[in-house]
Amino acid sequence: MPAPQRVTTASLAATARAIAERDGIDAVTISAVAAAAGVRAPSLYKHVGHRHDLLRLIADDAARELGDDVTALVGSSADPAVVLPGIARAVRAFSARSPRAAGLLFSAPSPEAGPTPEGMAPLIASLLEAVGRATPGDPLPAARTMTAWVYGFCTMEQAGAFQLGGDVDEAFEFGLTTLVDALTGSGGARR
Amino acid sequence: MPAPQRVTTASLAATARAIAERDGIDAVTISAVAAAAGVRAPSLYKHVGHRHDLLRLIADDAARELGDDVTALVGSSADPAVVLPGIARAVRAFSARSPRAAGLLFSAPSPEAGPTPEGMAPLIASLLEAVGRATPGDPLPAARTMTAWVYGFCTMEQAGAFQLGGDVDEAFEFGLTTLVDALTGSGGARR
DNA sequence: ACCTGAACACCGTTCAAGT
DNA sequence: ACCTGAACACCGTTCAAGT
């Protein structure tokens, strides 16, 4: 009589992500996830090929969650001056509530630990859609500029790289206004 | 008779950084660095408190090197429209030739693995100096916007995150022009 | 003063054996 | 079909002992 399955890939993702957020990426070990799932370490190799696959499960879970947020925003308004800031703030909010998963999303410690292209596709599609509405020309360089800034800002903020004091919220809004004004060509007066 | 010192902290930094660039951050283990330095693992604890200190040595070495580049640029011209693009391109060049060290500089896997405030000070001072010349107001938010974008772009480029084709060099120059124009208020015509 | 071997707890991974 | 114990190679870290 076959043994009943005690763990699913989806439950593994949730378990691994919880450990990552509580104790850090380094704590996402085969042993720790197995123990949290109520199973012995070797059993995990029925679901993942190696430890970095656990991180990839977390990354893809994060990509799906953030992709849902962004897609909803893009569907909620047609005005780029509303949608672009909304997306940037959604990314930052996600990064604040799931910093470890967000880190894996954009800068995984290895290619195998990063999200799959399929997992990222909905997020990227919504992003390009939003930027395409804002700029008349090729949306790709504009989207890359926006993405690089948001990603860089959130990563540095979570890594504690902003150590010179000052108001980090203000710096975020300043950068956001600067970029959105420039990309939409609104030339709105700098506050 | 005391044993002669066979390893210095400076030589440790160089050894660790070489391993990081060749085999990745995960390969920077106490054992591997000790072996490369021609010494047994326990000896390293005369120089570092724990493994993450090895990463910190790499990060501070990178901060010093990039700081030298940027400081030289800031001293070479007074025109922000020359210096700011120069800095951005210098960061990108550094990230291209030392991607692992550059990663530690801005988003270390733990606070202990990141650069020390003292190590970052010259780089940050030169950066603020350059941005301060360009904008009339508080240079801090402007510097953070610039830094976040450059860092984000270089990290994503090195991580292979720009997978949608297109010209990555062009995207870099587009973002650079957009930001420098906005920050210097030059309002130069978009090409 | 610096280096070493030995030891400990841990981890990733494989595999034959259980049910 | 899924899970397990046992085993292997490895790693970080400590410490008493060497020179």
Q: What is the pLDDT of residues A133-153, one digit of tens each?
A: 998 889 999 999 999 999 999
Question: Is A119 a residue whose pLDDT tops 90?
Answer: yes
Interface test with B, best of A23, A107, A154, A183 (most B CBs within 10 A): A107
Residue-range domain boundaries for chain B: 56-184
Which positions on strand D lie below 7 Å from a protein C-beta?
Answer: 1-6, 10-16, 18-19
Please tell me the predicted confidence (pLDDT) of residue B108. Answer: 84
Mean pLDDT of the residues in chain B: 92
Residue of B nearest to A188 (CA): B182
Angle between helices B51-76 and B99-106 (to 10 degrees): 90
Q: What angle do CA B127, A185, A131 make, to 5 degrees?
A: 90
Residue A18 has a pLDDT of 97
**What per-residue confidence (pLDDT) applies to B21?**
96
Average pLDDT score over residue span B173-187: 90
pLDDT digits (tens, 9 = 90+) for A9-42: 999 999 999 999 999 999 999 999 999 999 999 9
Residue B190 has pLDDT above 50, yes or no: no
Using CB atoms within 10 Å of the CB of residue B158, give its burial: 0 to 12 exposed, 13 to 18 middle, 19+ buried. middle
Whole-number pLDDT of residue B143: 96
A23 CA – D15 C1', rounded, Å: 29
How confident is the model over A149-191, as pLDDT tens digits? 999 999 889 888 888 889 999 999 999 999 999 998 775 443 3
Closest partner CB to A144 (pick from B140, B144, B162):
B162
Q: Per-residue pLDDT tens for B49-108?
A: 999 999 999 999 999 999 999 999 999 999 999 999 999 999 999 999 999 999 898 778
Q: Which of the four pLDDT bands, split at 50, 70 and 90, describes residue A84?
A: very high
> Measured in angstroms, what separates residue B79's CA from nucleotide C7's C1'?
63
Confidence of residue A2 (pLDDT cuts 50, 70, 90): low
For the domain bounded by B56-184, which CATH number is listed?
1.10.357.10
pLDDT tens readout for residues B117-141? 999 999 999 999 999 999 888 999 9
Residue scoring higher pLDDT (B154 or B6): B154
Q: What's the average model confidence in pLDDT over A98-108? A: 89
Residue A1 has pLDDT above 70, yes or no: no
pLDDT score recorded for residue A190: 38
Q: Residues of B with CB below 8 A from A109's CB?
A: 25-26, 109
